[in-house]
């Protein structure tokens, strides 16, 4: 049984005529006849019988008519409620993401904004740890963030895209004592001058934690959340810095060497973050669907 068949039946019962109902519904009379026939076959009853005064309802037809009207009223009310909700929905979307993810997913972001001109999209760029806090505090609608999860009130869904993760490199001038190594371990950084992201970023937090696990405090001589500024200071000071390897192709510093980090903390998956137990807005779902096309 389909909702369309109920509408057809109620319209015929109201007009007591197939032809008049067909005109009111803008369908052909054979279409109505076929649908009522299928409905009667499914219910195994007759719903109408013909008289000189027109169509009459059978006993079963009268019951179906009364109940059918109630169903259509509820469906129409539900439809109107959802449509009003959509019209009232706030057409703003606040998305938190890092600079790297903004670069990697810019094509999809631009596509979304160009195909949804009615939506005001705000992109808030900072570190994943700070963005997780902002999301938990309801300052963001969603986030494009890296694992691990630090806020218990949020969840992150893995992204199965062309950029689902990033690896880490240790960046230094070519004349640095560690520059001849094929890979770098955190233990190699003991005593080294380090330019670092702040604790707003996963790499900033991981640096402190991993160095402490290796028995020393990192010698941080400069801290900033701008990756280009960090690279510039690394070159000037002759120190080292931890960077997502994907940024190497975007860097203009050809006199810096990017060496893979050999550690359990050299690989981070990324995903879409949202608050737990909270329904996403329709525009947020559409944004996520666009991002997943990367």
Quick: pLDDT tens for 171-211.
999 999 999 999 999 999 999 999 999 999 999 999 999 99
The domain defined by 3-88 folds into: Arc Repressor Mutant, subunit A (1.10.10)
pLDDT at 70 over 80: yes
For the chain, give every residue range classified as CATH 1.10.10.10: 3-88
- Which of 4, 9, 17 lies closest to 67 in space, CA to CA? 9
Q: How far apart (Å, rounded) are the C-alpha atoms in residues 223 and 142?
A: 27
pLDDT at 252 over 90: no
Q: What DSSP string runs through 192-260?
A: -EEEE--TTSHHHHHHHHHHHHTTS--EEEEE-S-HHHHHHHHHHHT-EEEEEGGGGGG---TTEEEEE
> What is the predicted pLDDT for the residue at 228?
93
Taking the model in full, what pTM does it have? 0.69
Q: How confident is the model at residue 83 (pLDDT cuts 50, 70, 90)?
A: low
What is the average pLDDT across 259-282?
A: 90
For the chain, give every residue range classified as CATH 3.40.190.10: 92-163+269-291
What is the average pLDDT across 151-167?
A: 91
The domain defined by 92-163+269-291 folds into: D-Maltodextrin-Binding Protein; domain 2 (3.40.190)
> What is the predicted pLDDT for the residue at 97?
93
115-148 pLDDT per residue, tens: 988 888 999 999 999 999 999 999 999 999 999 9
> What is the predicted pLDDT for the residue at 162?
86
> What is the predicted pLDDT for the residue at 87?
56
213-239 pLDDT per residue, tens: 999 999 999 999 999 999 999 999 999
Which CATH number fits the domain 166-267, given the four candidates 2.60.120.260, 3.40.190.290, 1.10.1070.20, 3.40.50.880?
Answer: 3.40.190.290
Q: Under DSSP, is residue 178 helix (H, G, I), strand (E, B) or coil? A: coil
Q: Under DSSP, is residue 89 helix (H, G, I), strand (E, B) or coil? A: coil
């Amino acid at each position: 049984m389909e909702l369309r068949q109920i509408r057809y039946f109620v319209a015929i019962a109201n007009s007591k005529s197939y032809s008049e109902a067909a005109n009111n519904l803008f369908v052909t009379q054979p279409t109505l006849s076929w649908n009522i026939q299928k409905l009667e076959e499914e219910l195994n009853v007759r719903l109408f019988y013909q008289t000189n005064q027109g169509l009459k309802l059978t006993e079963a037809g009268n019951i179906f008519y009364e109940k059918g009207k109630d169903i259509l009223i509820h469906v129409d009310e539900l439809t109107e409620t959802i449509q009003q909700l959509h019209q009232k929905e706030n057409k703003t979307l606040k998305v938190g993401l890092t600079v790297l993810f903004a670069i990697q997913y810019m094509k999809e972001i631009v596509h979304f904004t160009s195909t949804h001109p009615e939506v005001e999209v705000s992109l808030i760029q900072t570190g994943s740890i700070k963005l997780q806090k902002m999301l938990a505090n309801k300052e963001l609608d969603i986030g494009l963030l890296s694992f691990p999860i630090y806020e218990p009130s949020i969840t992150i869904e893995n992204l199965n895209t062309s950029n689902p993760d990033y690896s880490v490199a240790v960046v230094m001038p070519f004349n640095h004592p560690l520059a001849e190594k094929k890979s770098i371990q955190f233990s190699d950084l003991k005593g080294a001058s380090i330019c670092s992201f702040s604790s707003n970023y996963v790499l900033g937090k991981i640096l402190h934690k991993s160095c402490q696990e290796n028995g020393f405090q990192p010698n941080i001589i400069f801290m900033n959340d701008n990756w280009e500024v960090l690279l510039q200071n690394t070159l000037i000071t002759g120190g080292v810095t931890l960077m997502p390897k994907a940024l190497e192709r975007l860097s203009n510093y050809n006199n810096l060497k990017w060496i893979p980090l050999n550690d359990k903390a050299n690989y981070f998956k990324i995903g879409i973050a949202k608050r737990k137990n909270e329904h996403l807005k329709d525009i947020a779902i559409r944004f996520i669907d666009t991002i997943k096309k990367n």
